[in-house]
Amino acid sequence: MQKLSVCANKKNRKAILELLQSMGCMQITTEGIDDPDLKKMDTQAQRSRFEKSAQMFDQALELLDQYAPEKSGMSLFSGKEEVSREKLNEIQKHQQKYIAKVNRILSAQKDITEHKGTILKDENQIAYLQPWMNLDVSMNAKGTKHTQVLIGTLPGTWTDEQLYAAVSKDLGEAAAVDARVVSTQNDVTCAAVICLKKDAENVENALRSEGFAKPSQVVRGTPAQAVSKLQEDIELQKKEIEALEKQIASESGSREDFKIAADYYRTRAEKYRLLGTIPQSGNAFFLEGWVPKKDAPDIEKILTEQFGAAVSVEEPAEGEEQPTLLHNNKFSESVEGVLESYGLPKKGHVDPTFIMSFFYVIFFGMMFADGGYGLVMVIACGIVLLKFKDIEAGLRKMVKLFFWCGISTAVWGFLYGGFFGDLIDTVARTFFDYSGSEPVLKALWFEPLGNPMRLLIYCMLFGLIHLYFGLGIKGWEYLKDGDVVGFVSDILSWYLFLTGLVLILLPTELFGSIAGDSFDFSPVAKLGTLAKAITIIGLLLILVMQERQTKNWVLRILLGAYDIYGVTGWLSDILSYSRLLALGLASGVIANVVNMMASMFGKSVIGAILFIVIFLVGHTLNFAINILGAYVHTNRLQFVEFFGKFYEGGGEPFAPFKTENKYIHIKEEKAV
């Protein structure tokens, strides 16, 4: 990175910002420009206006997706539509036309919401009136010249006889009262009582003593008539909603234009956000920020020649924090997402992506280790990469990573003799009566299930090599900084100590019993004296130099002795690579079990059909589980064991001022 400072005429401010935004290769910062004579514009109003416009178009697009959805396959891998600058300018020129369309869509949706609210209100009213459907008089009936009508509810379950007895108990034997239960539900009784007006007070008091309450809502006419009118209104509201939905769907032809307009306003809002942070005087404005070193000359040339700006390009000051931008080859860049999830390196530290990429792909393949599963990954990822060339950069890197991991998985699978487990042998024995003792698909190397300890030794060997590379990167950082003493005491000492211990262990019977295999280490045994010598040299270097900052020699030796205890951490790290064996065996064993279950139905048409069904279901589940396990544990080997030897994250990602489009990609001329 290099720091780029710009001073330009204020009249070119808009053009320069738009150019930098379209190029997307400068992270603009203004914190370092502190001058009381310079002012900043208040752009909040313009920014809010553009953000609101962008949100309106987003809402309109969501409504079009709801009422007139697009037919699109594999939308996850569908990239942004590429749009020319001429098309963008055309949308900008006729933006008021599209705003009017959006307003009509949003207004129609508002009406739809109101109609749905009316329907909900009508449905609630119908639900309330359902218990009163048997009432053959109006709910707000008062009575006649000589009678009084009392309509309401009583708690509990009542019968006509019980209701009559309750209201007539104070009216004598020949009480002129008609009491009827309209309905009973949910432990509530709806009732209607007709009595003489002279008895109305006594009847109402009797009802109130039983918990009588008049309806909270009343309607004109009988409940049945009211429900019929409400249902008619609901149908009318639904027709209105259907017409409005068709009105919104009719605008689906403007979908692409809406996307362009939404991103146009989003871009304008971002430009005004930055504009509000830029210091400026009456005639000039000032910019400062970070650019990649390879792009700095081109940016300087464009700004000076086209706009007459004064541009200064400087190297970062000592200790100055700067953003991190990774740059790797086509193969290694696929693993950048893994590194970014852990943390980017700071200035002066090594980017381990290149070295990590090889180990990552190899270890993933060892854990998944099946030729059939690997070919599935390669074919699926290859189709995505070829068919969807415009997918997002981060997603494309992830697909490429699984493409390379698929190749590794297939290679290790054929080395181990696995193709969907023992599918070839199972099919041969079940459907073709194969009875040979030798497998049809032979392992190119050896079968882990038959010799797991041999594979365990190789896993720990690969792990030791991986850790040695990590320690070597730390040593490179020491040498790059000119710290030869630190390299000898912290790096070389451990190389000598650990290598010597390994050379001492290899020819022993203990190692042979652990390995469970016959290895010829006679050449190593001849190096016994040399192995002991380099072990002692490494031990002494750690003992004396590891805590070299300590001036007290007694304390230094004691602390150095404690540091030697760190060899147990190395042993723990190396044993962690046994997961390469464990996951590889798990994938193969489960695949074999699936094949065995599929072949249980024998050689028949039904057996063949069931074989295919069980094969597809079982291997799909095994594929899903073990690809996740391989991904997680490969990450762990990088993050914990490998990075633990040298890596320091904490770098801030490079965040250039650029066009952040949600829907489209605009063809722009980039600085190269």
Domain limits, the chain: 140-214, 332-483+576-645
- Which H or E run includes 148? strand 147-155
Residues 6+ apart with CB under 8 A from 172: none
Q: How far apart are CA 365 and CA 584, in angstroms?
A: 9
Q: pLDDT band at 671, cuts 50/70/90? A: very low
| CB under 8 A, 24+ apart: contacts of 197-205 | 197/143, 197/146, 197/147, 197/148, 199/171, 199/175, 200/148, 200/150, 202/170, 202/171, 203/148, 203/150, 203/167, 203/168, 203/171, 203/177, 204/150
Mean pLDDT, residues 344-356 taken together: 91
Say if residue 128's pLDDT is above 60.
Answer: yes
Say if residue 489's pLDDT is above 50.
Answer: yes
Comparing CA positions, the residue from 118, 124, 125 lying closest to residue 220 is 125
Quick: pLDDT tens for 134-160.
998 888 888 898 999 999 999 999 999
Say if residue 586's pLDDT is above 50.
Answer: yes
Say if residue 649's pLDDT is above 90.
Answer: no
**pTM attached to this predicted model:** 0.82
Residues 6+ apart with CB under 8 A from 53: 99, 261, 265
Task: Give, rounded to a whole angstrom, the gap between the first and last alpha carbons of the chain.
Answer: 15
Mean pLDDT, residues 400-407 taken together: 97
Q: Helix/strand/coil (H, E, C) string of 334-360? A: HHHHHHHHHCECCCCCCCCHHHHHHHH
- For the chain, what is the mean pLDDT? 89
Residue at 616: amino acid letter: L
At which residue do the structure tokens 């320690």 appear? 471
Fold of 140-214: Alpha-Beta Plaits (3.30.70)
At which residue do the structure tokens 């004064």 appear? 310
Quick: pLDDT tens for 501-542.
988 887 776 666 666 555 566 666 667 788 889 999 999 999
Strands (E), 368-517: none
Q: Which of 28-42, 65-79, 115-129, 301-315 has the lowest mean pLDDT?
A: 65-79
Give 631's strand partners.
none
Say if residue 670's pLDDT is above 50.
Answer: no
Sheet holding 310-314, edge to edge: 27-29, 284-291, 2-9, 310-314
Q: Tokens standing for 162?
A: 């019980």
- Per DSSP, the residues of 642-660 read IGGGT----BPBP------
